[in-house]
Amino acid sequence: MSQQALVTLQNVGKTFGPVTVIKDVTVSVYAGQVQVLLGENGAGKSTLIKMMAGVYQPDAGHIVVDGQTVTLPTTRAAEDLGIATIHQELNLVPTMSIAENVMLGRMPTKHGLVDRSALRNRARAALALIGLDVDVDTLVGDLGIARQQLVEIAKALSINARILILDEPTAALTRHETESLFAVMADLRRRGVGMLFISHHLDEIAEVGDTVTVLRDGEFIAEVPASTPEDDLVKLMVGRSIEDQFPRVTGDVSQASAILTVDNLTSTGSFSDISFSVKAGEILGIAGLVGAGRTELIRAIAGADRYTSGTVAVRGRHLPNGSIQAAIAAGIGHVPEDRKGQGLVLDASVNDNLGYATLASTAKLGLVDFAGQRSRAGEVATKLRIRMHTIDQPIGALSGGNQQKAVFGRWIIAASTVLLLDEPTRGVDVGAKVEIYELMNAITAAGGAILMVSSELPEILGMSDRILVMRDGRLAGELTAAEATQDAVMTLAARDVDENHEQR
């Protein structure tokens, strides 16, 4: 490439205390190109881009912008050079409106006061770019995780950056919104914006990328064109090939009895009249667009929210409305959609986080069974291959994918037999995904049942034995694994969807 790079990280390194996270990595972003960063959970992708964003300073090497060596002591310094970043973890103020969040730090003013109408208009324009249609006065805290992600994207887009860093922007999105984002990226690319894109969805790489930089354990492995076949990318990334991305082993469930039965479940304003059952040994997938009521349904079953009418039963026993403890006692385990906000206590150790669900049940006379909790946590951490420095380190310091595995691990320890999974592999790398899928197989093989909400259609199609599709809070249809195709699911999920999406 003869053209000068917009920004280059030149032989950078980064250590946290005794841990070396990035070793001698070089990566560049060129105008009008999308550079993809690929690597397993904990490979160092987020750490790398944080050096470009002014969040961390490299301990070795340097940063070059437009041919000039620069230091980026603050995120503001990076923004001033035209570098905007969409971080993996959301950085929004839940108690402020969408408009205020989008324009945070850049509030338009008139006579020294916030110009509220300009604020709203600029925010609306930013939201329109990615096709998010909600009132800009809505509080961000009232939005689901996917919409929050869209607000975060709108915020970065509204900066008019020359360099846009996107750290797993699509992890929380359904295909529909992902495509809106890709359309925006295509437009930005035509306008000469350089982009750095991170995703664990390999199919997205060829779609939006130009070149791919592969990292493993913080080291540079290779730079290859984005058109490289997925299997080769996987091999570069994990060092071995993965035979089957969706290794679902289906048992014969025709004779099995229903474990989880949901009858006419209604929660006013979220979903209505939902009835289904999941049999022992079965994985039931729930597909739908963002806002279809899937998360609300899962939370109601888990006892996290109260419902208006209907019943939930496990093995024929009705569960009381709104009781998480009763649900857990009946064998339910709930992996919520937002690991940072709902799944983990970030300041607490990996050990503690893995053990919360069994803290009380394993205690004797109200005293914590420290030794037992510790050995169980250690076992599960090894089984799930959670990458960490020690099990006593705060879980907030783990990479996103490893945090996700820990939320999952809590219910493995609790020996839950009915798992309610809300985006169970969000942000998890291909290798670890397969490990989680194997665990799901093991749970169903042992007679457990799994209800899985996922926005990743390939995952729904690849792992479910049956698929329910929700639209606007209602069941729009049911498909067997044999009948289900992306088209069939999308047709049910969005009747009014345009041609483009139906063709995928």
Partner 1 sequence: MSTTTLPAKRRGLDYKKFLANNGALVGLVVLCLALFIATPDFLTAQNLLNIGIQVSTVAVLAFGMTFVIVAGGIDLSVGAVAALSAMSSGWMFASAGLPGWLALLGGLFIGALAGTINGLANAYGKLPSFIATLAMLSVARGLTLVISDGRPIKMPAEVSFLGGSLGPVPMPIIILVLAALAASFLLNRTVIGRSMYAVGGNAEAARLSGLPVKRILVTVFALAGLFAALAGLLLAGRLDSAQPQAAAGYELDAIAAVVIGGASLAGGLGKISGTFVGALVLVVIRNGLNLLNVTSFWQQVVIGLVIALAVGIDVLRRKTRSS
- Measured in degrees and rounded to the nearest 5, phi and psi for residue 291 equal 90, 0
Whether 278 contacts 286, CB under 8 Å: no
Q: By CB under 6 A, which span of 35-43, 93-101, 370-378, 466-474 interacts with ligand ATP?
A: 35-43
Kindly state whether residue 15 participates in binding partner 1, applying the rule CB under 8 A.
no
- Nearest approach, Cβ of 298 to ligand ATP (angstroms)? 23
Tell me how far CA of residue 182 lies from CA of 130, 309, 353, in angstroms. Answer: 9, 40, 36
- 45 in contact with ligand ATP (CB under 6 A): yes
Site mask, partner 1, residues 325-344, x = CB under 8 A? x--x-----x-x----xxxx
Among 49, 302, 377, 398, contact with partner 1 (rule: CB under 8 A): 302
The answer to whether the beta carbons of residues 172 and 341 sit under 8 Å apart is: no
Q: DSSP letter at 108?
A: -
Q: Please, what is the minimum distance in Å from the beta carbon of residue 42 to ligand ATP?
A: 4
Residues 6+ apart with CB under 8 A from 158: 102, 103, 122, 123, 125, 126
Residue 384 CB, nearest approach to partner 1 (Å): 9
Q: How many residues does the chain have?
A: 504
Q: Please state, in angstroms and rounded to a whole number, the distance separating the CA atoms of residues 282 and 190.
A: 47
Decide if residue 83 touches partner 1 (CB under 8 A): no
Among candidate residues 276, 231, 273, 270, the one with its CA nearest the CA of residue 452: 276
Instruction: Give the interface size with partner 1 as a residue count (CB under 8 A).
Output: 44
- The CA–CA distances, whole Å, from 133 to 77, 124, 128, 150, 454 equal 32, 9, 7, 10, 22
Q: Does 390 bind partner 1 (CB under 8 A)?
A: yes
Q: Whole-number minimum distance, CB 420 to ligand ATP, in Å?
A: 23
Whether the CB-CB separation of 247 and 273 falls below 8 Å is answered with no
What b/e sequence results for 320-330 when a residue is b if at least 16 CB atoms lie within 10 Å of its CB, and e otherwise? ebeeeebbbeb
CB nearer partner 1, residue 57 or residue 121: 57
Q: Which positions touch Mg ion (CB under 5 A)?
A: 46, 88, 400
Stretch that binds ligand ATP, among 40-48, 72-80, 106-114, 119-127 (CB under 6 A): 40-48
Q: What is the DSSP pairing of strand 113-114 with strand 109-110?
A: antiparallel
- Shortest reach from residue 367's CB to partner 1, in Å: 5
Taking CB under 8 A as the criterion, the residue among 79, 100, 152, 352 binding partner 1 is: 352
Q: 407: closest CA among 439, 375, 367, 446?
A: 439
Q: Which of residues 186-225 bind partner 1 (CB under 8 A)?
A: 217
List the interface residues with ligand ATP, window 377-396 (CB under 6 A): 387
Contact partner at residue 56 from ligand ATP, partner 1, Mg ion, none, CB < 5 to 8 Å by partner kind: partner 1
The strand pair at 34-38 and 211-216 is best described as parallel
Both tokens of residue 37?
């960063």
Interface with ligand ATP, residue 400, by CB under 6 A: yes
Give residues 413-432 in contact with partner 1 (rule: CB under 8 A): 431
User: What residues are paired with 449 via a beta bridge?
Assistant: 418
| Binding partner at 324 among Mg ion, ligand ATP, partner 1, none, C-beta below 5 to 8 Å by kind | partner 1
Residue 413 DSSP code: H
By CB under 6 A, name the binding residues for ligand ATP: 16, 19, 21, 39, 41-47, 88, 387, 397-402, 427, 429
By CB under 8 A, name the binding residues for partner 1: 17-19, 40, 42, 56, 217, 238-239, 302, 304, 324-325, 328, 334, 336, 341-348, 352, 356-357, 359-360, 363, 366-368, 381-382, 385-390, 397, 410, 431
